[in-house]
Copies of this chain bind each other. A is one copy, B any other.
Amino acid sequence: MSKVNIKVLAEQLQLSVSTISKALRDSYEISDETKKKVLELASQLNYVPNPYASSLRKKKSKTIAVVLPEVADNFFSLAINGIQSIAETKGYHVLIYLSHEKYANEKTILEDCQSGRVDGVLISISSETNTADHIKRLQAQNIPLVFFDREQEGIETARVTTNDFECGLLAANHLLQRGCRKPAFVSISQSLPICLNRMEGFKAALLQAGIPEMDIQTIYCTDDDSMNHQIKTILQSPDRPDGLIASVEKIVTPVYLACHELKINIPNDIKVIAFATLDTAPILNPPLTTITQPAFEIGKAAATLLFKGIEKSTFDLRKEKVVIPSALFERESTRGLTS
């Protein structure tokens, strides 16, 4: 079956292409009788309007882009669901792009987003990104952009995050209360604000507790491939920490596997707390204490702001900053000797 377009309808009804087009748009120039004929044939032949032609006319793609480091992470998959829940009500499509944690990919993606393919961009930046130029070029094209979770400093636009500093503080104080004397913070980036803010909170708690700055351990696992090896090295060091804060979800499995292999007992030898939305947290061995981010709500709030920016050119995205707090779920992995 060949594609049914306006031309086919025009030929079959012996009318001009422009008459068909006007009839389909319900123009006052066309008689009701003609409209009826056109619509009947269109329905009969299963005619579908071409959205590209339609987008060109309206200058709207009815599509938003979501630029993410990865989807194999519960936080991002839940955030996507939150974004989709809003996009659906607006009749928008969601184009999902993955940067795979590479700045070069993110740059190419944003160049592509400049081209009219999308009406707005939601972005959570890669762990490698430490410049804002590629984002500024997108803004120069008047394409609304909203950060969610992982923002980039130096850009004036809306951001939806969680209270990372406070949660770093909370996680560290939790470990201290459960008896840790030398907890360490495991990060995946030296530049991502989420990691930096969580780490600053962690450091602030330790300093407050009288632990000297030189004794505060922060560990960087910036490469997925070597993460298992790096974590084992930390756990075998003479100065082994007695508590670990995993700054993101993907650190959890390597930490647990290394502890199991090295016969390091969680929580007796080392307590573990993770920033994670893992639904398996309560069934891990042992159940994992988490700082759980409101991923779905963050996605929803970011999409809501973006659509305000798309729909009203007078809406000033630069003034918007939403912080949705995370919550601590205490489980076995941080059980103290006294509890």
Chain A interface residues toward B at CB < 8 A = 1-3, 46, 48-53, 55-56, 61, 63, 70-74, 77-78, 80-81, 84, 93-98, 111-112, 114-117, 137, 140-142, 252-253, 256-257, 260, 278-280, 282-287
Please give, as numbers and ranges, the residues of chain B lying within 8 Å of A137 by CB-CB distance: 46
A-B contact pairs, 15 of them (CB 8 A): A3-B142, A48-B141, A51-B115, A51-B117, A52-B117, A72-B74, A72-B78, A73-B77, A77-B77, A84-B98, A93-B97, A96-B96, A252-B283, A256-B280, A260-B282
Query: A93 — nearest CB in chain B belongs to which residue?
Result: B95
Number of copies of this kind of chain in the complex = 2
Query: A95 — nearest CB in chain B belongs to which residue?
Result: B95
Please give, as numbers and ranges, the residues of chain B lying within 8 Å of A111 by CB-CB distance: 48
Contact B50 A53 (CB under 8 A): no
- Contacts beyond the supplied A46-B140, A56-B56, A93-B97: 6 A-B pairs with Cβ under 8 Å: A48-B116, A72-B81, A84-B98, A95-B96, A278-B280, A284-B284
Please give, as numbers and ranges, the residues of chain B lying within 8 Å of A80 by CB-CB distance: 71, 96, 98
Please give, as numbers and ranges, the residues of chain B lying within 8 Å of A95 by CB-CB distance: 63, 93-96
Contact B285 A260 (CB under 8 A): no
The contact of A81 among B46, B71, B256, by CB within 8 Å, is: B71
Closest CB in chain B relative to A229 CB, distance in Å: 17
Contact B81 A141 (CB under 8 A): no
How far is A77 from B70 in the complex, measured between Cα atoms in Å? Answer: 8
Query: A78 — nearest CB in chain B belongs to which residue?
Result: B72
Contact B283 A253 (CB under 8 A): yes
Contact A140-B98, Cβ < 8 Å, known A51-B117, A280-B284, A285-B284: no
How far is A51 from B114 in the complex, measured between Cα atoms in Å? Answer: 10
Contact B140 A1 (CB under 8 A): yes
Closest CB in chain B relative to A103 CB, distance in Å: 16
How far is A99 from B57 in the complex, measured between Cα atoms in Å? Answer: 29
Q: Please indicate which of the listed interface residues A48, A52, A137 has the most CB atoms of chain B within 10 Å of its own CB.
A: A52
The contact of A283 among B55, B116, B141, B260, by CB within 8 Å, is: B260
Closest CB in chain B relative to A261 CB, distance in Å: 10
